[in-house]
């Protein structure tokens, strides 16, 4: 059982209207957002932040943003967010070879050096204590400009919030997320865990 029960998708009209964003991203409104509706100001602020963070203004693609989210969620161990991130990466055009080999992004030829730098940044920024150092900074600046780095850290920070929210809540995971988790992450032991 989740810590707090999600409310109906039509509980708060403003949240419902904003949440149509997730129909494109995931194909459903996440239970995490439905739980946030217990305080509609939180659900609305979260959705608006999510939309702002995921907007593309530079060369950081929608697919890469979702892979950054996966690496961040994998580093923190949130199985709910791992499945959501890989599902969104698939829906936003990540190459099949990347989806199938996300665990090996450091060495697999499906990933460019620029993508590896971004994903390494996600891994180091998501750890506690934070491990972003001069070597990570130097590598990022080989491939990305400051605005793009801000976009990446926006994703990492957004998923830091989500990882803590969903693992603490024990948010119930949706069927579509389970399908994607099993398909792309199952061979490495992914399971729903507490997110029944």
Give the contacts of 33 (CB within 8 A, at least 6 positions apart). Answer: 15, 19, 22, 43, 46, 47
Scan for tokens 């803590």, then name that residue: 164
pLDDT in tens, the chain (196 residues): 899 999 999 999 999 999 999 998 999 999 999 999 999 999 999 999 999 999 999 999 999 999 999 999 999 999 999 999 999 999 999 999 999 999 999 999 999 999 999 999 999 999 999 999 999 999 999 999 999 999 999 999 999 999 999 999 999 999 999 999 999 999 999 999 999 9
Quote the CA–CA distance of 99 and 166 in Å, as a whole number.
23
CB 77 within 8 A of CB 167: yes
Express each pLDDT in 63-100 by its tens digit.
Answer: 999 999 999 999 999 999 999 999 999 999 999 999 99
Q: What is the pLDDT of residue 1?
A: 84
**Angle, alpha carbons 153-157-160 (nearest 5°):** 140
Q: pTM for the full model?
A: 0.96
CB 123 within 8 A of CB 75: yes
Q: What is the pLDDT of residue 165?
A: 98
Q: Which fold has domain 59-188?
A: AhpD-like (1.20.1290)
Domain regions of the chain by residue span: 59-188
For 144-168, b/e burial (b = at least 16 CB within 10 A) is beeebbebbbbbbebbbebbebbbe
3-state secondary structure (DSSP) of residue 38: coil
Tell which residue, 67, 64, 7, 62, has the closest CA to residue 40: 7
Quote the CA–CA distance of 95 and 41 in Å, as a whole number.
36
Express each pLDDT in 181-191 by its tens digit.
Answer: 999 999 999 99
- DSSP result, 73-136: HHHHT-HHHHHHHHHHHHHTT--HHHHHTGGGTTT-TTS-HHHHHHHHHHHHHHSSS----HHH
What letter would DSSP give residue 63?
A: H
Q: What is the pLDDT of residue 169?
A: 98
């Amino acid at each position: 059982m989740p810590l707090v029960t999600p409310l109906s998708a039509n509980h708060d009209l403003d949240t419902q209207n904003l949440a149509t964003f997730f129909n494109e991203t995931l194909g459903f409104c996440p239970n995490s957002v439905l739980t946030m509706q217990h305080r509609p100001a939180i659900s609305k602020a979260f959705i608006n932040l999510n939309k702002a963070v995921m907007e593309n203004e530079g060369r950081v693609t929608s697919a890469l943003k979702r892979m950054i989210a996966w690496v961040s969620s994998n580093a923190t161990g949130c199985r709910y967010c791992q499945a959501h991130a890989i599902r969104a990466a698939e829906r936003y055009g990540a190459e099949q070879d990347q989806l199938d080999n996300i665990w090996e992004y450091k060495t697999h030829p499906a990933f460019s050096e620029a993508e590896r730098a971004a994903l390494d940044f996600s891994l180091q920024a998501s750890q506690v204590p934070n491990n972003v150092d001069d070597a990570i900074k130097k590598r990022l600046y080989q491939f990305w400009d400051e605005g793009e780095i801000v976009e990446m850290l926006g994703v990492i920070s957004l998923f830091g919030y989500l990882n803590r929210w969903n693992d603490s809540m024990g948010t119930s995971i949706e069927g579509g997320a389970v399908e994607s988790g099993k398909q792309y992450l199952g061979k490495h032991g992914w399971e729903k865990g507490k997110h029944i």
